[in-house]
Amino acid sequence: MSHRPTATPGSDIAAWWASAVVYQIYPRSFADANGDGMGDLLGVTARLPYLQRLGVDAIWLSPFYKSPQADAGYDVADYRQVDPMFGRLDDFDGMLRKAHSLGLKVIVDLVPNHTSDEHIWFQEALAAPPGSAERDRYMFRPGKDQVAGSGDGNLAPNNWKSIFGGPAWTRTTNPDGSSGDWYLHLFDTKQPDLNWENPEVQEEMRSVLRFWLDRGVDGFRVDVAHGMVKEAGLPDWDGVAAMVEGSADAGHLPDAPGAHSDAVEPHTAHHHHDPAGDDHSADNAGHQPVSPLYPPSPFFDQDGVHEIYRDWNRVLAGYDGDRMLVAEAWVEPAERLARYIRKDEMQQAFNFDFLLAGWDAQRMAVAIEDSLEAAASVGAPSTWVLSNHDTVRHTSRFGLADPTTFPKGIAAEDEQPDAGLGLARARAATLVSLALPGSAYVYQGEELGLPEHTTLPAEARQDPTFFRTNGIERGRDGCRVPLPWKSGEPGYGFADAYAGGGPSDGVSSGAGPSDGFSSDGGPGHRPPAPPWLPQPESFGELAADRQDGVEGSTLELYRSALSLRKRHGLGSGSFCWADMHDPELGVLAFQNRDILVIANMGTEPTPVPDGYHVELSSAPGAGAAEAAFGEAAFRERAFDEPAVVGASAGRPASHASAAASAALLGGTLDAAVIAPNTAAYLVAG
Ligand code: NOJ
């Protein structure tokens, strides 16, 4: 590993997004203001002060548009309407106003690759004959055998598989009952792909952008940003595509229903497709790729998509303020991803290589270095992300025997993560991600150290990937569980923003807490409906009210890290590997401005360098191990492995209680070391 300084991309960009911390809200599961068991926009509004206090700069809302919810809202039936389950357009406007008044920017999700099959356009297409203008908005094709003249269209137009499992084509039925053409859906059957060669589609999506820009949104997260353009002729493809690359995925699934692939391949097992012909994997384990996609797919990362983003860049440029686009593009290698953030395209792209690196110093170091270099090559800032609504929460991934694996959900019969170990590592990884220059994304609930729900019963699951793979993929429900706001309330206070009156009183109660965690509902109070997904018991002790103001809790760790990041200008800072950086030994160390970041991902304590003191540590200090880790994990850890929690070094005042915690945890306190599974921010002097 070289210790060369790496250019700091985008640090000269004054726009807010270049260094912003963006908090992802999954509206179904954030806060329920009307007591129907489902999160809503008024719930978001009620909790904005909490987010302001957390110290984030912006929020991104996953889709809240009118939708039959076949894919939790990523199947949009009307791009200009709020689904009644989330509220009304007025509620959105009110939320936006309040967010802006609190200094928070707002990014909304745009889903341009596909619509819902219940979108008026698709309904019109089904009713119209083959070859019509209505059908040309989507990807309708006759069967392969019909084109060849050898059959009556029973064969799908090509061999593409849906990312969610099963075929990517569904055959239509003509109005007279006969079998008709097929339509393409890279995802669920209820998510037909749009035809982006059609100017009408292009103009419609421009108009959708303007609709939300006119309302005042600050940007868009672009769903499947690498998927809209397909290779001409739609050729067969024998590769495997997945949303989260590198795991056991739908394309590789055994046919036997109910069978579960335990053998989730570590990314290091893959071969790296390197267009330059360099096979990095031969000589350096740390340089192995994290998400190969080979041969290149005919439906992802086609050159044509970039014209769309140049067009949208011009649309955004017509508005005041610094509006932005962030690409959700599972593209590799990093240089290919950088093409999405060239000066005249999008402003940011999610750095999934960083997310995919897992808890492994060598892989993480490579991901950091490669993404900084790739972003610098186009003068854009990098981004850092560890979790989102499509991946097992990093708190749980990092507690698996191999913390670089990416299971597609976890069920009771699968390996269960070590909660204490996973949380310790997650807290450490968070300190790394928040100290890197660029923009960082935080997924709702990670500031509480929430684990994945790993024992959801099959009956509770709702993710289409679970059903399309006969349960072989457990699906994404486990990371989408409603948040716990208050430990003593039903649903752990998920509906704490609910003022009473029952679920039937519509969506516009407007009531809710300001920043507290209390609501007694008052007279006539009816209890809220249970949250739409059951919550695990551990959510009780991790609820926001249990961590608020408790030193060493995960919530307070995030607040401290975010405030330190702001004070020291880390988001727009500099990056250089430090002398003690030694990924082979599991030590990741870098300097950003005056902060030295050391993450100990190895097995031995690592020394605090002479002349430095610890400003912030991911280890729970001051006797707060229990609050930080939750009673259960804490108890388990106390009698289990030693020294999982690092020493809270450098702060004389906290030594006594940190010593008590460390002793309870079976570890040793030594102010001169950073324990394994811990990260710290240090300053000289
Ligand atoms: C990516 C989104 O994040 C995911 O939740 C969704 O299922 C697919 N795109 C399809 O829209």
Give the start-end residues of each E strand in 448-607.
576-577, 587-592, 595-600, 606-607
Atom 11, ligand 1: which residue's CA is nearest? 74
- Cα 62 to Cα 106, 220, 411, 480, 577: the distances in Å are 11, 10, 25, 11, 35
6 CA to centre of ligand 1 in angstroms: 33
Beta strand pairing status for 606-607 and 439-443?
Answer: unpaired
Atom number in ligand 1 closest to CA 62: 3
Please, are residues 408 and 391 in contact by the beta-carbon 8 Å criterion? no
Q: What is the pLDDT of residue 12?
A: 82
Q: What is the pLDDT of residue 620?
A: 79
Please, are residues 323 and 315 in contact by the beta-carbon 8 Å criterion? no
Please count the CA atoms within 13 angstroms of the CA of 146 that sit on its side-chain side.
15
Give the residues surrounding ligand 1 with Cβ less than 6 Å away: 71, 74, 111, 187, 223-224, 243, 328, 389-390
Give the DSSP H/E element, type plus range, for residue 40: none
Mutate to test the pocket of ligand 1, among 71, 109, 113, 479 (most ligand atoms within 8 A of CB): 71
Q: What is the pLDDT of residue 242?
A: 74
3-state secondary structure of 131: coil
Q: Which two tokens stand for residue 379?
A: 């003068």
Active site residues: 223, 328
Edge to edge, what strands does the sheet with 678-684 contain?
Answer: 576-577, 587-592, 595-600, 678-684, 612-617
Of the chain, the end-to-end C-alpha distance in Å amounts to 28
558 CA to centre of ligand 1 in angstroms: 27
Nearest to 376, CA basis, from 431, 430, 337: 337
DSSP state letter for 5? B
Q: What is the pLDDT of residue 644?
A: 30
Distance CA 685, CA 673 (A): 16
Nearest to 99, CA basis, from 72, 59, 138, 70: 59
- Burial (CB < 10 A; 0-12, 13-18, 19+), residue 454, is buried
Residue with tokens 């020394």: 607
Distance CA 558, CA 556 (A): 5
Q: Which two tokens stand for residue 37?
A: 């068991």
Atom 6, ligand 1: which residue's CA is nearest? 74
Distance CA 620, CA 418 (A): 17
Q: Which residues in the chain come in under a pLDDT of 50?
A: 1-2, 5, 246-292, 502-521, 622-623, 634-669
Please, are residues 468 and 410 in contact by the beta-carbon 8 Å criterion? no
φ/ψ of residue 100, rounded to 5: -65, -35
Q: What is the pTM of this model?
A: 0.88
Mutate to test the pocket of ligand 1, among 223, 300, 328, 388 (most ligand atoms within 8 A of CB): 223
Q: What is the pLDDT of residue 631?
A: 59
Per-residue pLDDT reduced to its tens digit, 8-58: 777 788 999 999 999 999 999 999 999 999 999 999 999 999 999 999 999
348 CA to centre of ligand 1 in angstroms: 18
φ/ψ of residue 362, rounded to 5: -65, -45
Q: What is the pLDDT of residue 524?
A: 58
Q: Can you name the residues that pair with 595 across neighbouring β-strands?
A: 592
Atom 5, ligand 1: which residue's CA is nearest? 390
Q: What is the pLDDT of residue 510?
A: 40
